[in-house]
Amino acid sequence: MKWTIEVGRYDRTAGDGRGEVRSYPPPYENAPQRRYQTFEVDLPDHAMVLDALIAIREYQDESLVVRCACRSAICGSCGMWINGAARLACITKLREVARDGKVTVEAPPSMPVVRDLVWDMTPFWQKNRAVLPWLENKEPVPQGEEYRVPNAAMENLIQEVSCISCGVCVMDCESFAVNPDFLGPAALAKAYRYVADPRDAKTHERLGRYSQPNGVWDCTHCYECVAKCPKGVAPMEQILKIRKLAVEAGYRNNSGTRHAVAFAESVAHSGRLNELTLMPKSFGLFNIRAQLQSLPAAFNMLRAGKLPPLLHPKVPHVERIKAIFKKVGGMFSS
C-alpha cells in the first residue's frame, strides 16, 4: 500500500529550506518552526508508523533522524506527535491514523527539539531524578533473604513499573503545557511506585515532597496521560492515590495545595485548559475530527464520564496562568 508521510523536520544546523514552514499556536508559539516534508512509502496494510519512518530513513533520506531500538513498545524511544497527538510510533498502525493515506509526524511542540523527531529528554530525566526514584530500605534489611511481602503488594506496582519512560504522557499533559516545571505524569507515577512499596522507609517524607508546588496538586485531571499512555500506567490515577495518602498523612494546608487552588481559580476565570482549545485555526492538522480519530479511548471514557467536555467555552489566557505559576514557584523548578 502507498502511504504519504508528512514529517515535521527541524535542524538548526542545516536550514536547507526543504518543505513548507508552519508554526504552532499558543501556548506553543515559541516552539521552533518545523519544515514539513512529504515522503511516499510502500508498506503493507498492517505496517506501523515507525516502519514508515525507518523505510524513509533507510532508503529515501538518511538525514531523517528518529530514535528507536526495540520496535515493540519496550525501549520507549519513539514517542512523538502523530497527527497532532502524542503516541508511540512503533505500535501505531498507519491505517489507524491515516486520513486519505496520509499521516503527519513531528516532535511534540511541548518539548525542546534536538533535530527532526528527536526531542530533548533532559528535563524529563531531571524530573525523574527529582522524585528520588530509588528504594530507601526499611530496616532491618533481612540478612541473606528477601523481604517478606505479599505478592499482591508487588503486583500492585507492576502498573507503574510498566512505564517505559517514553514521555508520551508528558507531551500532551495540560498542566505541563502551561507550567514546564510541573513534575509531570511519568515522574509522579514513578513516585507512587516507591510510595506504595512496602519495603520503602521514606513513605512519609515522599508524600511531603510530592505535595509541594509542581507536584501532585498541579495535575488538572485532564486525563490526557491516562488516555495516551501506551503501557496502561494511568499516571493520573497514581497521582490521585498520592494525594489521598498525602492528605491522610496530614499534608493538607501546604503550599502545594494552595498552588493548586490558585491554578484552579485562574482556570475558572479564563476558561479551562484543554488541548483542543490549543488548536490552531489555520491548518487542518489539528481539526476536531482528527482529534477524535486519534483518541480511540476517548469514547469509552466519555461513556464512563471520565473525559472532560471536549469543548470549553473560552480560550484561556495562557500567559496569565504561566505568570501565576511563576509567582507560586516550587522546589522542583530547575
Judged by CB under 6 A, which stretch of 14-22, 111-119, 173-181, 280-288 contacts ligand SF4? 173-181
> What is the nearest approach in angstroms of ligand SF4 to the Cβ of residue 226?
7
For residue 20, report the phi and psi dihedrals to the nearest 5 degrees.
-85, 140
User: Under the criterion CB under 8 A, does residue 75 sit at the interface with another protein?
Assistant: yes
**Residue 165 or residue 220: which is nearer to another protein going by CB?**
165
From the list another protein, ligand SF4, none, pick the one residue 220 interacts with, judged by a Cβ distance below 5 to 8 Å according to partner type. Answer: ligand SF4
- The residue within the footprint of another protein, chosen from 58, 205, 248, 265 (CB under 8 A), is 58
- The residue within the footprint of another protein, chosen from 76, 167, 213, 235 (CB under 8 A), is 76
Residue 88 cell numbers, joined? 508511540
Q: Helix (H, G, I), strand (E, B), or coil: what is residue 41?
A: strand
d(CA 58, CA 151): 46
> What is the nearest approach in angstroms of another protein to the Cβ of residue 223?
22
Which residues pair with residue 48 across a beta bridge?
93
Residue 26 CB contacts under 8 Å (≥ 6 apart), including other chains: 278, 318
Q: Cis check for the bond before 25: say yes or no (omega within 30 of 0).
A: no
User: Under the criterion CB under 8 A, does residue 164 sit at the interface with another protein?
Assistant: yes
User: Under the criterion CB under 6 A, does residue 233 sit at the interface with ligand SF4?
Assistant: yes
Mind giving me the DSSP string for 156-194?
A: HHHHHHT-----HHHHT-HHHHH-TTS--HHHHHHHHHH
Mind giving me the DSSP string for 233-249?
A: --HHHHHHHHHHHHHHT
Strands 102-106 and 2-9, sheet pairing: parallel
Type of residue numbered 20: E
Type of residue numbered 13: T
User: Under the criterion CB under 8 A, does residue 146 sit at the interface with another protein?
Assistant: yes
**Residue 230 or residue 256: which is nearer to another protein going by CB?**
230
Contact 189, 241 (CB under 8 A): no
From the list another protein, ligand SF4, none, pick the one residue 229 interacts with, judged by a Cβ distance below 5 to 8 Å according to partner type. Answer: ligand SF4
**Residue 6 or residue 106: which is nearer to ligand SF4 going by CB?**
106
From the list ligand SF4, another protein, none, pick the one residue 115 interacts with, judged by a Cβ distance below 5 to 8 Å according to partner type. Answer: another protein
CA atoms within 13 A on the CB side of 2: 4
* Residues shown for the chain: 334
> What is the nearest approach in angstroms of ligand SF4 to the Cβ of residue 314?
19
Contact 202, 247 (CB under 8 A): no
- The residue within the footprint of ligand SF4, chosen from 90, 173, 196, 318 (CB under 6 A), is 173
User: Under the criterion CB under 6 A, does residue 111 sit at the interface with ligand SF4?
Assistant: no
From the list ligand SF4, another protein, none, pick the one residue 74 interacts with, judged by a Cβ distance below 5 to 8 Å according to partner type. Answer: another protein
Q: Helix (H, G, I), strand (E, B), or coil: what is residue 202?
A: coil
Handedness of CA 28, 103, 115, 71 (dihedral sign): positive
> What is the nearest approach in angstroms of ligand SF4 to the Cβ of residue 172?
7
User: Under the criterion CB under 6 A, does residue 227 sit at the interface with ligand SF4?
Assistant: no
- The residue within the footprint of ligand SF4, chosen from 110, 212, 220, 277 (CB under 6 A), is 220
In the complex, the residues that contact another protein under the rule CB under 8 A are 11-14, 46, 57-59, 61-63, 65-77, 91, 114-116, 118, 120-121, 125, 129, 133-135, 137, 141-142, 144-151, 154-155, 157-158, 161-162, 164-165, 194, 197, 199
